[in-house]
Amino acid sequence: MTRIILVRHCEAHGNTISVFQGHTDSDISGNGAAQLELLGLRCRNMPIDAIYSSPLKRAFQTAEAINQYHHLPIQIEPRLIEINGGDWEGKSWNDELPVLYPEQMKNWNMRPFAFHPQGGEAMRDVYERIWAAITDIVKENQGKTVCVASHGCAIRNFLCHALNKPIEELNDVDWCDNTAISVIDFDNDLHSHVISMNDASHLTPELSVFAQQTWWRPENRVDDGGENEDSRS
């Protein structure tokens, strides 16, 4: 059995100013730094044999926080990166995206499996890419426990696949808070078993991004994108 401890990055600047940050390499926020302190303490006594990260700073600094008590080499895996937003990169969730791209905004919220921004990456490609990346990591680390730092949309796609759901059921999989942890076991035949999902119990309510927002709740996934302070990528 091989265990994957999958962690979403801490809050980053793009989250705080409510823009689509995708491949944009945002710095972490002050709140994100405080989240990492608690995440590092939570992971201090976890048995971790290897650590992998997306190449973006917000994920790599999350991996560094986890690694402060483990002292392992952090391996960069480019396929763990967030969805490429193309023309959506850097644009406001509230003032620009619903106006400029109303049809794709509806897809993002209501039919995410059909989402494909101009100049960017199709959601279907993220679904396949993140699965291939993590199953390759599993193959390279048979019998070990591996920590992986990635991103909200990418993690959501991976969990959908790990739950044996087709991408058409992506909206049935919840989003995860910043620094939330999911645990997935793989057998030798690469069959996945999701042990836990989106656990951010190490955060206080003051540090939790999701405690301050409601967009992520299933009932609030509306056609026009919903409310302010979006923190999806």
pLDDT band at 214 (very low <50, low <70, confident <90, very high): low
Decide: 198 and 177 in contact? Cβ < 8 Å: yes
Query: If you average pLDDT over residues 160-184, what whole number do you get?
Result: 97
Identify residue 24 by its one-letter amino acid code.
T
Report the alpha-carbon distance of residue 115 to residue 113 in Å, rounded. Answer: 6
Report the alpha-carbon distance of residue 219 to residue 206 in Å, rounded. Answer: 23
Q: How many of the other CB atoms lie within 10 Å of CB of 57? A: 16
Report the alpha-carbon distance of residue 148 to residue 141 in Å, rounded. Answer: 12
Query: If you average pLDDT over residues 191-219, what whole number do you get?
Result: 84
Nearest to residue 132, comparing CAs of 143, 140, 120, 122?
Answer: 140
What pLDDT, in 10s, does the model give residues 32-50? Answer: 999 999 999 999 999 999 9
Q: What tokens were used for 165?
A: 């759901």
Nearest to residue 7, comparing CAs of 59, 75, 72, 45?
Answer: 59
**Predicted TM-score (pTM) of this structure:** 0.92
Report the alpha-carbon distance of residue 88 to residue 104 in Å, rounded. Answer: 10
What pLDDT, in 10s, does the model give residues 92-115? Answer: 998 999 999 999 999 999 999 999
129: number of CA atoms within 13 Å, CB side?
20
Nearest to residue 198, comparing CAs of 230, 174, 168, 218?
Answer: 174
Nearest to residue 122, comparing CAs of 150, 146, 157?
Answer: 157
